[in-house]
A and B are shown apart, each in its own frame.
Chain A
Amino acid sequence: MNSTNIAARAESASKIYGSGENEVRALDNVSVSFERGKFSAIMGPSGSGKSTLMHCVAGLDALTSGKVFIGETDLSELSDKEITKLRREKVGFVFQSFNLIPTLNAYENITLPLSLGKKLGDEAWIKQVIDTISLNDRLNHRPSELSGGQQQRVAVARALATQPEIIFADEPTGNLDSKSGSDILKFMRRAVTDLKQTIVMVTHDAVSASYADHIVFLADGKIAGEMTQPTPDKVLDYLKHLGE
């Protein structure tokens, strides 16, 4: 793997919560890379450290030891302000819930990271993104006037708006019904295939994971394995395997 092809990576990343008796090793010497232009998934049982890994790689949280890179940038060398700027310009986020600012309408939410950096953004690109999520007639609506699925679509569009190096999505379909969920997954798939974006998604659901090009399995804060070109069956099979 050529390093210029890597959108983000972790090197011997460890994250320890608490100390002494209460010490929790959420990440234990994890090294992992996420390839540019690919849809990656992080899978594992609840409490395995998926979210922690994502937060640390995305610059939302600091590691206890080890290093993370977004592109060629070592996050540990950046100040809070620089990391904020990097998140704004190079990283997109989709969370499970509370993704939108209730006082801003859909369009303002989508362009929020750009506005925060006082940038106009690539209008053609934003139009293309909005077309893809097919919410053209809802752009003036506030989040409270949108359904859960629509809200998540706006969130994904927001993540895409800055054409970031990488998008992190933590269980983006966790709160949705299966129809809305699969819409979001298909949409993310299209963003990678058609719009050449890079997405890393955290999930504990095999079907969701099977939309990805590449899966990293986590267990007890350690890498338990990887898989390319997954299908739901292959994933379930693997998980069963892992359980033994």
Chain B
Amino acid sequence: MFRLSLKMTLARKGRLLLTSLAIILGTSFLAGTSIFSATINSTFDRLFTDIFRDVDAYVRSTNSVDTGFGEVRAPSPVSALEIILKVDGVSAAVGDMQSYARVIGKDGKPLGEDQGPPTFGGIASSSAAGLWIVESGRLPMGAKEMMLDRKTAEAGKFVIGDSVRVNALSGTREFSLVGIANYGDVSSPGGATFALFDQPTASEFLLKPGFVDAFLVQGDGTLSDEELAKAINSALLPSDKLETLTGAEITEETTSQIKKVLGFLTTFLTAFSFIALGIGCFVIYNVFSITAAQRQRESALLRAIGASRRQVTNSLIVEAVVVGLLGSILGFVVGIGLSQALSALLNAIGLEIPTSGLTINMSAIVSTVLIGTIITTLSAILPALRSGRVPPLAAMRETALDVVTRLTRRVIIGLIFLILGVIALVASVNGADVKILGVGVLAVFAGVLVLGPAISRPVAMLLGKPVSKIRGVTGTMSQQNAARNPKRTARTAAPVLIGVALVTSFTALAASIKGEIRESIGSSFRGDYALSVNSRGFGGIPISVTDKIDQLPEVATATGVGFIPAKVGDESPFVLVFNPKTAEGLYDLEMIDGRQSDLGKDEILLEQDKAIEKNLPIGSTVQVTLVDGRTLQLKVAGTYKDAYGNYAVSRELFEGTATPLFDSFIYISTVADVSDKNARKAISAISADLGVGTLESRDEYIDSQAAQVNQFLALIYGLLFLSVVIAIVGIIITLLLSVFERKHEIGLLRAVGMTRSQVRTMVRWESVITSLFGAVTGVVLGIVTGVVIVISLNESGISGFTLPITSTIFILIGSFIIGVLAAVFPAWRATRTNIISSIASN
């Protein structure tokens, strides 16, 4: 029987192909994601192993703040270098620095992108422990010389002898380029740019005189790395607060830190690949259901001539296993291509992640093939059981394919899911846990999917009404065809439904966030212009620039807002840093209690909800630990409605400390009679000199801040694209199978005078009705989900739901187009139906 099943499976190439297609698409994203993750992981592994190849020990400060997006560590005093060099077993040691520095190109524009890989400034050293290998020229010496990494030099078309402008914490300076270097074996790690100086220049220009980030140490080979680290540790002064790691430890730590950040991304991608797989499941299940129905007579014949139920069921399962294996192996191959596409997608939206080569783990292959095969087999179980239940008698008589099944049980189960879901949603709207929200959304989706076959007939009839009006009997047949097999229609529409619901809810969420951004910036920002950088927590506009702009005669006031990582109580947030002296009337925190202009050096402001959550009333104190290890007791001086952060402090707090201060944006109000042109000219003169920042009017700034959500939305759309493709392929497959199943009918229609174009019209509109059925239910579900999420997340700062009307209309038009596109091939196939052979009696 097994061999027979196998033979029957392979004999039907068309069906095999269609089923495999669904599996290939479903599994390819999963494979693509795991290949992509493996590739970035191994890229970073290799990179850091390269970087720290010659480092036997690493000395750094013990003070740090981990924000969850990477660690921020305090600088180390250069004086410790003397101590380290004297330790027995140390052959070389050098200061290391990776601070913010941006090279300004010959055209006056900074190199690298605002959203791109980081731009670093560091120490060029001749020590064997140094990471840089001079390729041409020599090491920089003194305050006027610098070196560039080869890639940046090439990108900026700089040659030795050129003068290069660099922007860093303490402003913009001009250096003469004396050398070009490689970083280990690579010209530039991860696409970052590097401006390198001798240690005193680097410390003074990039960080703080007399400090570096850390020290790289090379042993003389007499001690093991562990012994070396121990020896250094015991030599270090306790007052310097330094610690020593072995080369292996720092490699491991750096790599795992990067991987942790990338972990968010890969988890995110994996979530979407499972969505695609789930949608693929529907298609696979649908294909098996249809083919099982189509070969009902074959199954009945097998039963009639003595095959047991089990054997009939098993033959379908064998088919599923074969197709599942085949499909997921091919899916893996397609996934290799998709992993490249993922890279391209992330690049396109500005999240550049370095990948080199292609890392394919055996485990990725195994898991893809395993998951693909298991899912295919599971999808086939129900149809296979149904096949086994076909009575042998069905072989003898004409069996009607349009079986009207009892829907009562389905309606009850669907409603139960729906009601439970709604209860959970109502609970979460009223403040229940986010997990309840997730459960509620899932239950509502499940309920709608279970109810699908019960509502697909009436909804399809309704949607088909205008079609039948416009297209006459051809349209009526489209309408009837879409409604004749409610289960099939519902299953075909399900992927569209899920895809559209996700797209709609994300779009609605994005629209609401945009609305919120507009509102909150609109109410907090009262000035005329904003100068901003999008540096993602690394660097920004040095506060000296803010003060310079403030001094301009055209400018009434300029106030800057920046963020700094710190430990506050039991959290490690980015704390908002502003200047209370200039912020009044320009940057309004919308205070509920207290006055923002009164904020003193030893005080802190809290967001209202945070203050309540942490039970920190006005007058209480909260402990704040800064990156440099300084621990402060700050007094709660007021609460505000909402801003970019839950905590706000005065920039005075950092005066005279080693902590570098940057502003992320500067709000500017101009004096009364200055023209727009003159104001821009004056401000740009300063920002252009730095080569950083975007100067925008209030309206422009609000627009561009809100538009940042689009980047996120673009990523979501990109990731959902494959799900949409799977949904389209699902419709194509179903239509093809339906066309095949109805070939008698189509032959007859052709015989009695239906033209080819009418046949095409008939198939096309059936497809459109099916797709719109999915889209309409999806939009409804998506909006409901969106509203609920927005309301539930109210606390986290989204206050109003914005319905994206245009986007919703576009989604519906898109689904219409999907319906039309999906029908192209099946409709063409339908017109090829041979009249004679399809009306022949058998």
Contacts and interface: CB of A to CB of B under 8 A. Distances in A.
Interface of A: 55, 60-61, 80-81, 84-85, 87-89, 92-93, 95-104, 108, 112-113, 115-118, 144, 158, 174-175
A92 B753 CA distance: 9
Given A97-B841, A144-B402, A116 B753 contact: yes
A101 B755 contact: no
Contact of A55 (B402, B758, B836): B836
A48 to B, nearest CB: 16
B836 A158 contact: no
27 contacts: A60-B751, A60-B836, A80-B756, A81-B755, A81-B756, A84-B756, A87-B751, A87-B753, A88-B752, A89-B753, A92-B752, A93-B751, A93-B752, A95-B841, A98-B745, A99-B748, A100-B748, A102-B400, A103-B481, A112-B473, A112-B752, A113-B752, A115-B472, A115-B473, A116-B754, A118-B472, A158-B752
Given A104-B476, A116-B754, A118-B472, A98 B402 contact: no
Contacts of B753: 84-85, 87-89, 113, 116-117
Contacts of A104: 473, 476-477, 480
B835 interface: yes
B761 to A, nearest CB: 11
Given A60-B751, A98-B745, A116 B473 contact: yes
Interface in B754-787: 754-756, 758
A214 to B, nearest CB: 24
Nearest to A96: B841
A116 B752 contact: yes
Given A103-B481, A104-B480, A115-B472, A87 B836 contact: no
A93 to B, nearest CB: 5
Contact of A101 (B472, B749, B756): B749
Contacts of A81: 755-756
A174 B841 contact: yes
Contacts of A55: 836
Nearest to B401: A102
B841 A84 contact: no
Nearest to A115: B473
Contacts of B476: 104, 108
B474 interface: yes
A161 B195 CA distance: 89
A109 to B, nearest CB: 9
Interface string B552-569: 000000000000000000
B297 interface: no
Chain B CB within 10 A, most for which of A61, A88, A100: A88
B744 interface: yes
Chain A CB within 10 A, most for which of B480, B835, B839: B839
A102 B481 CA distance: 10
Contact of A98 (B756, B758, B839): B839
B481 A144 contact: no
B162 to A, nearest CB: 73
A111 to B, nearest CB: 8
B518 interface: no
B484 interface: yes
A98 B744 contact: yes
B386 interface: no
B259 interface: no
Contacts of A108: 473, 476
A129 to B, nearest CB: 15
B752 A87 contact: yes
B569 to A, nearest CB: 68
Contact of B402 (A93, A102, A158): A102
B572 to A, nearest CB: 65
Contacts of B480: 103-104
Across the A-B interface, give the 5 residue pairs with the lowest CB-CB distance, nearest first: A88-B753, A115-B473, A103-B480, A98-B744, A84-B755
A165 to B, nearest CB: 13
Given A103-B477, A108-B473, A174-B841, A84 B750 contact: yes
A85 B755 contact: yes
Nearest to A61: B836
A117 B587 CA distance: 72
A221 to B, nearest CB: 16
Contact of B839 (A87, A92, A95, A113): A95
Contacts of B756: 80-81, 84
A118 B474 CA distance: 10
Contacts of B750: 84
Nearest to A88: B753
Contacts of A93: 751-752
Contact of B754 (A84, A99, A144): A84
A103 B461 CA distance: 12
A103 B753 CA distance: 17
Contacts of A92: 752
A60 B750 CA distance: 9
A95 B747 CA distance: 11
Contacts of B477: 101, 103-104
A101 B748 contact: yes
Contact of B474 (A60, A87, A97, A116): A116
Contacts of B754: 84, 88, 116
Contacts of B748: 95, 98-101
Contacts of B758: 116
Interface in B460-499: 472-474, 476-477, 480-481, 484
Nearest to A144: B400
B480 to A, nearest CB: 4
Chain A CB within 10 A, most for which of B481, B752, B755, B835: B752
Given A60-B835, A98-B841, A113-B752, 8 more contacts: A84-B754, A88-B753, A88-B754, A102-B484, A102-B745, A116-B758, A158-B752, A175-B841
Chain A CB within 10 A, most for which of B484, B753, B755: B753
Nearest to A52: B836
A102 to B, nearest CB: 7
A85 B758 CA distance: 12
Contacts of A96: 841
A158 B752 CA distance: 9
Nearest to B749: A101
Contacts of B400: 102, 144
A99 B752 CA distance: 10
A103 B484 contact: yes
A71 B717 CA distance: 61
Nearest to B838: A98
Nearest to B748: A98
A174 B400 CA distance: 20
A138 B44 CA distance: 76
Interface string B526-547: 0000000000000000000000
Nearest to B750: A84
Contacts of B747: 98
Interface in B507-532: none
A191 B481 CA distance: 33
A99 B753 CA distance: 13
A99 B282 CA distance: 34
B394 to A, nearest CB: 15
Contacts of A174: 841
B770 to A, nearest CB: 15
A115 B472 CA distance: 7
A166 B836 CA distance: 19
